[in-house]
Amino acid sequence: MPLLVDTTPLRVSPDFRRLWLGQGVSFLGSMITAAALPYQVFHETGSSLAVGLLGVAQLLPLLTFSLIGGAFADSIDKRKLLLGVNVAALACSIALVANASLPDPKVWLLYVLGALTSGIFAVSYPVTRSLLPLLLTQELRPAAYSLQAIYGSFGMMAGPAVGGLLIGGFGLAAAYSVDVGTYALALVAFAGLAPSPPVDGAQRASRDSVLQGLRFLRGHSVVMSVFGVDLLAMVFGMPRALFPALSERLGGGPGLYGLLVSSVAAGAFVASLGSGWTARVRHQGRAVLVAVAVWGVAIAIAGLSRAPVVVLVMFAAAGAADMISGVYRSAIAADVTPDDLRGRVSGVEIAVYAGGPVLGDVEAGVVGGLVGVPFAIVSGGLACIAGAAVFAAAVPSFSRYSTASRR
């Protein structure tokens, strides 16, 4: 049984190889911009509130356009739509470079471009998520999602660090210029994809088509559980908002804070490199629940410890568990969702995945402020363990889901 990441999907599918390369380079650039935008807003305004409002400006279009983007992904040729949204993203990045090059950059334009970029991502995500299952057989999808986790976790680790180095050494325009270059490379990769027209009889993007996707979710307990367990882990088990206070409690400074922020992604990255075994697991529903429980255990131990090394190792272990959970959640959702609904289901997915961490920040901040940081972290981890047990008992179709299951 191979332990290292299984690269079979890259070898057997030229289109998946193009998709993976395009997504990988563009995601790194996007993470650089994700670090540069709030930095520039703070640099220009000196206001943390202004930075927080940037987050609001980015979240609203993400939630709004995710459902619309999913409907378009099911009704338009996915290759054409993917090229279109990446051209739009490239234009936004060029505008960021131009604005950063001005003697007096316009802060209002940062909000506009941040919102536009977020809305574009909300459309592109359902396209790529619904395209991947069409390129590979069911057996190869877990390996494909593991490969995607490599660039995802690496981008989240390296992107902010590279962005900081570029800003410090060459300025904001240079950081945004890298994003321009990565989008250009992604367009070259995506241009080589084969056409991917909608299925015969596909419904046009409309309010009714969006509602059809929501009705499918409401009637399918397995897919609802896929989203529910992730929401559980993000809301209760991700104490991101407590990292500054936790760093202080552990006697560290900005350096430890930076390590805390990157530790989850680091764990996910290491796990993705050793994910060759994931394709052999048949009972994928059970694997998701076990991974969520492991996430909860690791978070709870991190909350109990006062040793920085132990805390960092536990957050890395949580990241590894989340990576494994994500592989199987993605595989299950792709397997049980009909081809003509995958875009709309993926649109709901990105809305859940975007909203979950925000709700988690609120939950962690409120509980941490009322009863203290350790209790907030430990109780969140225990809630994840209990929640996984509840899902196992309440939704047996999910806990029993295996590769032998049928739609």
43-63 pLDDT, tens per residue?
898 887 888 788 888 888 888
For the beta carbon of residue 201, count every other beta carbon within 10 angstroms: 6
Are 199 and 220 part of one and the same domain?
Answer: no
184 and 245 belong to one structural domain:
no
For residues 254 and 243, what is the distance between their CA atoms, to the nearest angstrom? 10
pLDDT tier at 358 (50, 70, 90 boundaries)?
confident
Q: Is the pLDDT of residue 2 over 80?
A: no
Residue 186 sits in the same domain as residue 226: no
Same domain, 158 and 280: no
Q: Are residues 263 and 289 in the same domain?
A: yes
239 and 280 belong to one structural domain:
yes
Domain with 166, as residue range(s), is 1-205
Domain identity same for 102 and 150: yes
Tokens representing 407 are 């739609």
Lowest-confidence segment of 27-31, 128-132, 349-353 by average pLDDT: 349-353
Question: Residues 76, 344: contact at Cβ < 8 Å?
Answer: no
* 397 and 301 within one domain: yes
Q: Check: CB of residue 27 under 8 Å from CB of residue 150.
A: no
Residue 68 is predicted with a pLDDT of: 86
Q: What pLDDT digit, counting tens, does each position of 249-285 carry? A: 898 877 788 788 889 989 999 999 988 888 788 899 9
Instruction: Using the 3D structure, point to which of 158, 181, 205 is the last residue of a domain.
Output: 205
* CATH number of the structural domain spanning residue 90: 1.20.1250.20
Dihedral angle sign, alpha carbons of residues 86, 92, 95, 96 = negative
Read off the pLDDT of residues 157-206 as tens digits, 9 standing for 90 and up. 888 888 888 888 899 999 999 999 999 999 999 999 999 887 766 667 67
Among 149, 126, 72, which Cα is nearest to 337's?
126
- Domain stop point among 205, 236, 267: 205
Q: Are residues 143 and 199 in the same domain?
A: yes
pTM of the model: 0.85
Q: Are residues 143 and 239 in the same domain?
A: no
Distance in angstroms (rounded) separating the CA atoms of residues 24 and 5:
16
Q: How many domains does the chain fold into?
A: 2
Of 156, 173, 205, the last residue of a domain is: 205
Query: Which percentage of the chain shows pLDDT scores above 70?
Result: 97
Which pLDDT band, with edges at 50, 70 and 90, does 407 fall under?
Answer: very low
Structure tokens at 294: 């492991």
Same domain, 61 and 94: yes
Does 87 lie in the same domain as 194? Answer: yes
